[in-house]
Structure 1
Amino acid sequence: MVTQDYVEARAVLVSAIASGQGKTSITAALARKLVQQGKRVRVFKCGPDFIDPMILERASGATVRSLDLWMVGEELCRRQLAQAAAEADVLLLEGVMGLYDGTPSSADLSRAFGVPVMAVIDAAAMAQTAGAVVHGLRDYGPVQLAGVIANRVASVGHARMVAASLRDIPLFATLPKQARSLPERHLGLMLPDDVSDIDTLLDQLAEQLVFDQQAWDAMPPVRFAKPAQAQATAPLLAGRTIAVARDQAFMFIYPHNLEVLRELGATLKFFSPLADQPVPAEADAVYLPGGYPELHARTLAQASIWQASMRAAHAAGRPIVAECGGMMALAETLTDQAGDSWPMAALLPGAVSMRARLSGLGLQALPTAQGDLRGHTFHYSQLETALAPAAHTVKHPSALQGEAWYRHGSLAASYFHAYFPSNPAATAALFSGSAA
């Protein structure tokens, strides 16, 4: 429903006691099931993430955007939710980690916008204790709890025991143990395009989700106030063309990042390093986002045309912004998880090697002359370089020193993934070459 002052849609925040409970599988199954019923569904991912949104986009058929009270900011979160509620019947928000984990947490987001929580529990090794877990989740905050979806349920009898233990909390759905789950690799779930039968798998999840349609239909819609009209972004990149690397090695890009570059006035030209495509000749700047260069190191090492074009762009002084995987591909060498070392584009002195353990994780901000540019970091590799950092990010909320941020000629490189809407002016400075 859309009125002059507010919009309404049925909405839930899918959360759990921890990671690994099946939030993404449940959210994907629910999204696909609702779409199959003819519902218009919009899915959001809480917290910084690139991979889960790709799975959820495939399940729902619509772009998945990020929600985070710190990185995205409350006002932009509110604007996105209101816009989605005006366009869709159902909003699904997948939480991050456990319900109360992080500062801010998924629970904070739920309370900020009045979106009730749908708790996912892994019931594989419990029965009546499920009630204690769920009541604890509800009352600790507290949060408004819409109900429960039980994952990895063994039988109808098992589901009845779980439902009885919940007392006054409804069991909305169950999903049985899966012979095959969404496949994973070191950064999380595998990308949809890397799973040949991903749509069949999503259809199977939707089909096996035993869903209480009556309880769902009885759930009241959530009302979102219409925000004030957003202030227009100054066209600080008007007339400039930015080349954006985009393929299976470089695909970790927030949809909002590309939108902000366009709002700043830039024209975007996409190219594929994996296909050995050069930087477009008309490009005034280059954006190399994160991704999986370590999985494609052999191909990138042999991409002589792409490597030469990157070196030419650097020699010409064109601004190059390289984030995480983008930075890895611009080092002198990249050692993959098998221990094989591959020559990269060598714009940044030093060597990158994959590690068995996580090397960086969490929300961070880069101080700039235009103010903080917010974002996050998440990586399993390490850069060894003699180059001194030009700056460091600041961890949130601890304010401790975060990732190194390097400047080498026209190259700005870091493991830090920036969320451009948090500071469009700082973003423009990066791509115009005026950032300090």
Structure 2
Amino acid sequence: MPACPALFISAPASGQGKTTVTAALARHHRRMGRDVRVFKTGPDFLDPMILARASGAPVFSLDLWMVGERACRALLAQAAREADLILIEGVMGLFDGTPSSADLAATFNVPVAAVISAKAMAQTFGAVAFGLARFRADVPFHGVFANRVGSARHAQMLEEALPRDLTMLGYLSGNDAIELPDRHLGLLQAAEIDDLDARLDRAADALASTALAQLPPAVTFDDAAGDEPLPRLLDGMHVAIARDAAFSFIYPANVQLLDMLGARLTYFSPLADEPVPGDADALYLPGGYPELHAPALAANTHSAASIRAHAGANRTIVAECGGMLYLLDSVTDTHGVTTPMLGLLPGNAAMQTRFTALGMQQMTDSAHGTLTGHTFHYSRVSTPLTPVRHATRAQSDAPGEAIYRQGPVVATYMHGYWPSNPAFAAALFHGRAF
């Protein structure tokens, strides 16, 4: 059974600075010459982009429901065999959600470091830390780290407020040169932060002398029972994937699965007006921010014509969330400005100022079983299309996102985690699902 130093970075809530601290840790240890593998809890696309830049390696998702305990165990065991350090960033607060970050940490016995934003807080820091450490006895607790600290005296007050058996792992001062910028849906994408590497280096410098920067204890990860090699269900298929600032919500595990199933993968950029390769058998339009780039996408006629030609040749298109919006007749922003899109699916998407759906979901096809995933978006779609079916929510049978099929197009707001059902994923790209 492989063992590796491992640490779980969590917090009492979102917005405490988990990603900043995790990325700083990854950058620090990478600069020390260590091979660092970072995982992100839950169905996130944005934080992993930052963490991948910091660590120099792809960031895979861990989630006991979406990914599954067996697959999480296999991912961790593989990382433990190859890396010098494993870092896991939590999602929301430590005990939020079902399953929660605490459930994941307890399942794999990974010690938790809690990041607490101490801005506008003094001795209450100790009470919050006490609650996080004591709320569940099965969660291994490593210590607490203070973020956005105002001064050395402030840090001293925070440490003095801790129970004696809780470890203060250090602190970061509030610093706009370290904080990661955000917008709706979360952080900015890594490629959009011009000075990201400088920010990561400054953050790594700031915590290099703290106890948090020391290697954590080694954790032993059970080897999952060996699985049979995946059948090459996409052998010889050429899959084109849109990838740029408008279409970037892509799980590394999904791409890895397509490769393992035998597909040949190429990438193109609709934002750069690049065409779909003419010999592509299938096209994947992932989620992202087409609404932020709508005028450019509308003006890029070469890319648009190639996607329409691909559909006209009855070749498969799999579109998720933002990719689905791109296929519609139009997108309307929050100021009421409507921009034409590809017109391959009838209807309009209207952007909202608040998110309109959030949570784990799954879709089921009678021939291929169930595929897990999630949804998170700020738009509403109006379309005359009748859904072929609906996804269902993770904790109930309540209907979730609509799934549309028109000709060679399968489109939905739900982001699928394809390794949860490789046969289902292959059917999507063969055009045989639903």
Following superposition, the deviation at residue 209 of structure 1 comes to 2.1
> What is the DSSP-based 3-state SS (H/G/I as helix, E as strand, rest coil) of the residue aligned with 2:347?
strand
Check if 1:35 corresponds to 2:30: yes
**What residue number does 1:61 align with?**
56
Check if 1:309 corresponds to 2:284: no
Q: Distance in 2 between matches of 1:304 and 1:214?
A: 51
Check if 1:145 corresponds to 2:153: no
Q: Is the 8 A contact 2:38 2:51 kept in 1?
A: yes
Q: Is the 8 A contact 1:242 1:283 kept in 2?
A: yes
Q: 1:336 aligns with which of 315, 326, 333?
A: 333
What is the CA deviation profile of residues 248-278 of structure 1, one whole-angstrom value per residue up to 9, with x for unaligned ones?
1111100010111111111112111111122
Instruction: Out of 332-341 and 418-427, give the one that drifted further.
Output: 332-341
Q: Is the 8 A contact 2:35 2:84 kept in 1?
A: yes
**What residue number does 1:359 align with?**
356
Change (3 A) 1:110 1:232: same
What is the CA deviation profile of residues 26-57 of structure 1, one whole-angstrom value per residue up to 9, with x for unaligned ones?
11111112222222211100000000000011
Please tell me the residue identity of whatever aligns with 2:87. L
What is the CA deviation profile of residues 285-315 of structure 1, one whole-angstrom value per residue up to 9, with x for unaligned ones?
1100011101110111011122122122112
Give the 5 Å matches for 1:10-409. 10-142=5-137, 143-166=139-162, 167-180=164-177, 181-209=179-207, 211-213=209-211, 216-217=214-215, 219-368=216-365, 369-409=367-407
Q: Is the 8 A contact 1:175 1:208 kept in 2?
A: yes
Please tell me the residue identity of whatever aligns with 1:145. F
Q: Is the 8 A contact 2:171 2:210 kept in 1?
A: no
Q: Distance in 2 between matches of 1:214 and 1:379?
A: 35
> What is the DSSP-based 3-state SS (H/G/I as helix, E as strand, rest coil) of the residue aligned with 1:17?
coil
Following superposition, the deviation at residue 350 of structure 1 comes to 0.2
CA RMSD of aligned residues (A): 1.4
Q: Distance in 2 between matches of 1:265 and 1:17?
A: 43
Q: Is the 8 A contact 2:424 2:433 kept in 1?
A: yes
Following superposition, the deviation at residue 80 of structure 1 comes to 0.8
Please tell me the residue identity of whatever aligns with 1:155. S
Instruction: Out of 187-196 and 34-43, give the one that drifted further.
Output: 34-43
> What is the DSSP-based 3-state SS (H/G/I as helix, E as strand, rest coil) of the residue aligned with 1:348?
coil
What is the CA deviation profile of residues 85-136 of structure 1, one whole-angstrom value per residue up to 9, with x for unaligned ones?
1111111100000111111100000011010111111111222221211111
Aligned residues: 430
Identity of aligned residues (%): 54
Q: Distance in 1 between matches of 2:415 and 2:212?
A: 42
Q: Is the 8 A contact 1:319 1:433 kept in 2?
A: yes
Instruction: Out of 179-188 and 374-383, give the one that drifted further.
Output: 179-188
> What is the DSSP-based 3-state SS (H/G/I as helix, E as strand, rest coil) of the residue aligned with 2:127?
helix
Q: Distance in 2 between matches of 1:434 and 1:43?
A: 35
Q: Is the 8 A contact 1:46 1:68 kept in 2?
A: yes
Change (3 A) 1:22 1:215: closer
Following superposition, the deviation at residue 338 of structure 1 comes to 3.7
Unaligned runs of 5+ in 2: none
Following superposition, the deviation at residue 17 of structure 1 comes to 0.8
Q: Is the 8 A contact 2:169 2:212 kept in 1?
A: no
What is the CA deviation profile of residues 142-161 of structure 1, one whole-angstrom value per residue up to 9, with x for unaligned ones?
32100111101111222122
Following superposition, the deviation at residue 210 of structure 1 comes to 5.9
> What is the DSSP-based 3-state SS (H/G/I as helix, E as strand, rest coil) of the residue aligned with 2:376?
strand
Q: Is the 8 A contact 2:290 2:325 kept in 1?
A: yes
TM-score when scaled to structure 1?
0.96
Q: Distance in 2 between matches of 1:51 and 1:391?
A: 29
Q: Distance in 2 between matches of 1:435 and 1:192?
A: 34
Following superposition, the deviation at residue 336 of structure 1 comes to 2.5
Unaligned runs of 5+ in 1: 1-5
Q: Distance in 2 between matches of 1:215 and 1:302?
A: 48
Instruction: Out of 178-187 and 359-368, give the one that drifted further.
Output: 178-187
Change (3 A) 1:251 1:215: closer
Q: Distance in 1 between matches of 2:172 and 2:330?
A: 45
Please tell me the residue identity of whatever aligns with 1:82. A
> What is the DSSP-based 3-state SS (H/G/I as helix, E as strand, rest coil) of the residue aligned with 2:221?
strand
Q: Distance in 2 between matches of 1:25 and 1:265?
A: 37
**What residue number does 1:3 align with?**
none
Q: Is the 8 A contact 2:360 2:393 kept in 1?
A: yes
TM-score when scaled to structure 2?
0.96
